[in-house]
Structure 1
């Protein structure tokens, strides 16, 4: 039996909305910094004939695209669950990270190609102006400060998308350092250093884009969480009162949250309502003890899957009731019979009126009839218990 994941509660939706607001505020700060740096880098790069600075400015321009992707994903990813998206819209963040990774990889490849062409014609490269060096250093300071700010916000909100954007800023800072070294070396007479710096920047950007795209793709194909976290979740479910065993525990990520599926084994003779209560308790324990878990789907088993396969040929309730009614004849039943599928046998609980149980001779005759039938005429019956109902 399966107990489906419940919709995300109102407090969870409020937390997600607040998280989205903080993510958008941090991203707007990044937008403002990148707009200023893009204009300055491209302008100064063109005036000073520093192609590496222009390339770095175009890299910063790609950051703006990344920022707007983050804003879009933060807004739509925080939307509450609905009929078509019962688990919410967290995959917007993952999709944005994948697009950002592809953009970075493309920009990096373009830088590498341009730098390779320029390295083959060093004599034709124009003389650089010193202002290019100062602009590269200013960009380095601005990008490093933006990285530290964005990473702090990302870690507080546990947002992979903001972490990606923060490390994008750190990659920019590193590329600005390479550009500054290249421009400085070129001003000292080592003209090959400036296009070489542009090539190194291109490689760094390409590598970062490939890593971001790979991680986003892993999430989109439902890669599970780390084994140590799976072990902790398994321990939480296993120690739930009423759970005998846990198997087929599966996890998958949705942005910063985790979805869990688990099969738990309980006593075969408990009621459906008690099995449901055990499943709900296991679900509550996992969600309360593992803050990244969005929801848990618990499937209740009464025996190991190998044993359950053996009982698939057993008759269903309708056939069992008809067979039992024919066996009981005119014996009244005070309540519907309860059947337990245990291995390759079906056990039954038959409820008789209290006044009928008072006739010991009649009861003994019925017991003997059931015993003979179970031992000879039928192979699928196990124990049949006769119970007296003394209250409505």
Structure 2
């Protein structure tokens, strides 16, 4: 993974992904490569006498600017369109739910999307029918806290259901 794309901000102990910071870092990196090409051309053309080197370096710089611009545009469009997170992040969310929803039976219908630095997570949590509302609420608070600790800013909606609503297949079965 390119270092520029992995840039994050830490604010008040929470992790925030910043598209603006990432774009700024990419812009600076593009300027660095342009400067390297310029210095290389200025130094090597007089030494080699190969005047086409300027054109070759210019083409490489143009290709690099287009490649980085395409990457920034793709990242920005993904954020604007609420692109689904990668499989690794979804698995992280599933693991956090599984580890922290002790007392529940299963979780299903997980929906997860990200817009800029905010995650939107929805799922159904099946609890035993005899469980009190207070106990179910405590489980939900524990899961929400753990998800926010892992993802930073998140809007989380947990729909609590009684055990009769359990799907028992294709779901995250909790210990």
TM-score, L = length of structure 2: 0.72
Question: Displacement, 1:221?
Answer: 2.1
* 1:123-160 superposed Cα distances (whole Å, 9 cap, x missing partner): xxxxxxxxxxxxxxxxxxxxxxxxx9xx7xx5444423
Aligned partners of 1:186 and 1:286: how far apart in 2?
A: 56
**1:136 is matched with which residue?**
none
Higher relative helix content: 1
**Residues 1:256 and 2:110 are matched in the alignment:** no
Question: Counterparts of 1:223 and 1:233 in 2: how far apart (Å)?
Answer: 16
When Rg is computed on C-alpha atoms for both structures, the one with the higher figure is 1
Give yes or no for contact 2:111–2:123 (8 Å, CA) kept in 1: yes
1:171 Cα deviation after fit: 1.5
Structure 2 unmatched runs, 5+: 11-15, 169-175
Q: 1:235 aligns with which of 95, 106, 124?
A: 95
Q: Does 1:172 align with 2:38?
A: no
Q: 1:219 aligns with which of 53, 70, 79?
A: 79
Q: Which residue of 2 aligns with 1:266?
A: 127
Larger proportion of strand: 2
Matched position secondary structure for 1:290: helix
Whether the aligned pair in 2 keeps the contact of 1:182 and 1:195 (CA below 8 Å) is no
* Higher relative contact order structure (alpha carbons within 8 Å, sequence separation ≥ 6): 2
Does the 8 Å contact 1:265/1:300 carry over to 2? Answer: yes
- Cα separation, 1, equivalents of 2:151 and 2:35: 38
Deviation at 1:276, TM superposition (A): 4.1
Q: How many residues align?
A: 154
Q: Find the residue that maps to 1:183 and give its secondary structure.
A: helix
TM-score by length of 1: 0.35
Q: Please give the alpha-carbon distance, in whole angstroms, between the structure 1 residues aligned to 2:8 and 2:140.
A: 32
Deviation of the 1:204 alpha carbon: 0.6
Of 280, 296, 302, 2:156 maps to 296
Give CA-to-partner distance per residue, 1:203-255, whole Å, 9 cap, x none.
Answer: 11000000111122222222233323322322322332332111122222232
Answer whether contact 2:119 2:151 (CA < 8 A) is retained: no
How big is the shift at 1:294? 2.1
